[in-house]
Amino acid sequence: MEQKDVSLSGKRFPIQLDIAMYKKGLYKETDKMSDLICGNYPMVLVTSRFGIKLGFGEKNIGEVCRQNGVDAFTFLTVVNFLTEEIQSATEMICERISVDTLMSYLHNAHNYFLDFRLPHIREKLNEATSTCQPEVAVAIHDFFEQYVQEIHKHMTYEERTVFPYVRNLLDGKVMKNYQISIFKKRHEQIDKKLSDLKNILIKYYPGSGSYMLNSVLFDLFTTEEDLISHTRVENELFTPVILSYEKRLLM
């Protein structure tokens, strides 16, 4: 919080300027879950992906996690990573984190994007482009569907190849023809085409503008940010944790 003075009729009054949008500082088990969400509202998506429902009253993070069968250390690691209080997967994190809990979080995120977020954007995009020229609407929808197919392919690979590999690893089964380094090499950003669609609508959409189109654009912006965060968790938390697990298993 930064303090500056405002001058009114020759008198100066101090005011507080809220520089940061979100609360800063490492979250702990003793912090209230409601404070986490109110201080960083994107965390409402994180809690849902851990299978935690709203309505936790005054309970703290540790209590809510235990009540929902969620490993509190893993939950807080993801939260503090996304709020940039944790910068990387340290050795201690790799040893203590629950891989099952982290995979469940990633799996639920996939379901959110594929079964809810993208279909919701599709519906709104249909409405927003309903009054524009048919060929323009078709081009926009084709571009969006190509992007959806790309997301499906990306996340299906993780569900059908990466996660089963990790589950086998947790059971002590080492596969000779696959390692997490293969996933690391081929794991590309999946927000590029979404960014392209956003720019097409902003720069070239010939419509007169509408609340619905603006709402679609807002959804594209927030989905892009969400996907970037999701990819960061996979690249900078999940992958290093599995690499560490592989090394310990093969020692």
Cβ-count burial 111-150 (b if 16+ within 10 Å, e if not): ebbbeebbeebeebbeebbeebeeeebeebeeebeebbee
CA-to-CA distance for 130 and 114, rounded, in angstroms? 23
Q: What letter would DSSP give residue 35?
A: H
Sites in the chain below the pLDDT cut of 70: 1-25, 189-191, 206-209, 251
Would you state the pLDDT for residue 62? Answer: 98
CA-to-CA distance for 62 and 73, rounded, in angstroms? 9
Dihedral of CA 48/220/215/37: which sign?
Answer: positive
How many residues are there in the chain?
Answer: 251
Would you state the pLDDT for residue 7? Answer: 44
CA-to-CA distance for 176 and 250, rounded, in angstroms? 12
The per-type count for the chain, helices as H runs and strands as E runs, is 13, 2
Would you state the pLDDT for residue 24? Answer: 61
Q: What is the residue-wise DSSP string for 173-202?
A: PPPTT--HHHHHHH---S-HHHHHHHHHHH
Would you state the pLDDT for residue 6? Answer: 44
CA-to-CA distance for 45 and 221, rounded, in angstroms? 15
Domain residue limits, the chain: 94-250
Would you state the pLDDT for residue 251? Answer: 66
Q: CA gyration radius for the chain?
A: 22
